[in-house]
Amino acid sequence: MSDPDRDARPRPQFGEYASPEEQRARIRQPDATWALQSGQAPAEADPPSAPPAPATPARAPAAHPRRRTIDRIATFALLGYGLFQVLTSIPALTDFPAYADMLLEIMGAQAELSDPAAGRGWGIAAALVLGLGWIATAWVSWRSLRAARLTFWIPLVAGIVFNMIASTLMLIPLLNDPAVRGALAAVVGA
């Protein structure tokens, strides 16, 4: 009934097939089962000693303060650029007919808006998205800088996200205008 190959296998290591006694012997803990069955508290094992503290505190790498300074400069430069872009975009976005004419001229489409005033609300919404997005970005960046985290990426990502949202808001009234759609189809088909 016994298999000779089964007995020839190596003895277990790391507690794979080890009995509780073998496991305790490896980890050097007393048998708590006997103590619990007899109603006694198990004996405490000696706690592992902590490594001795170094004589002098460890210093941060020398590049750490410089990296944070560069991060701060990059963050404030990106926030400044973003503020400039937002402030120069707001007048263009709120004057939707002029914005649409300029965009159509750049695309080479000859079209007149059917209802130029219909896009004004969309332009104001896009301007609000950019303005409030910049304020939220500045607040999140400031909190991240105060927490000493890497921050330069926040204005980059926020700029991409909020500009995409504003662009989508500006394209909605343009693409819903039948005259503009026809002119764009003629440009693409040409």
Rounded CA separation 115/120 (Å): 10
Q: Which of 26-40, 102-116, 139-153, 163-177 has the lowest mean pLDDT?
A: 26-40
Instruction: Say if 117 falls within a structural domain.
Output: yes
Region 81-94 average pLDDT: 94
Instruction: Say if 78 falls within a structural domain.
Output: yes
**Count: domains in the chain:** 1
Instruction: Say if 158 falls within a structural domain.
Output: yes
Rounded CA separation 152/159 (Å): 12
Instruction: Say if 96 falls within a structural domain.
Output: yes
Summarize pLDDT for 13-57 with one digit per residue, the tens.
Answer: 665 677 778 777 777 766 666 666 777 766 665 555 655 555 555
Choice between 139 and 32, residue whose per-residue pLDDT is larger: 139
Instruction: Say if 135 falls within a structural domain.
Output: yes
**pLDDT (0 to 100) of residue 86:** 96
Region 169-188 average pLDDT: 86
Q: Which of 42-46, 78-82, 114-118, 182-186 has the lowest mean pLDDT?
A: 42-46
CB atoms within 10 A of CB 65: 10
Instruction: Say if 86 falls within a structural domain.
Output: yes
**pLDDT (0 to 100) of residue 115:** 83
- The alpha carbon torsion through 19, 20, 21, 27 (nearest 10 deg) reads 110
Summarize pLDDT for 4-15 with one digit per residue, the tens.
Answer: 556 676 666 665
**pLDDT (0 to 100) of residue 49:** 62
Q: Tell me the pLDDT of the chain averaged across its residues.
A: 81
Instruction: Say if 113 falls within a structural domain.
Output: yes
Tell me the torsion sign for CA atoms 109, 114, 116, 118.
Answer: negative
**pLDDT (0 to 100) of residue 75:** 96
Which distant-in-sequence residues (6+ apart) come within 8 Å of 25 by Cβ? none
Instruction: Identify the domain containing residue 170 by its residue range.
Output: 71-189
Instruction: Say if 4 falls within a structural domain.
Output: no
Choice between 19 and 147, residue whose per-residue pLDDT is larger: 147
**pLDDT (0 to 100) of residue 100:** 86
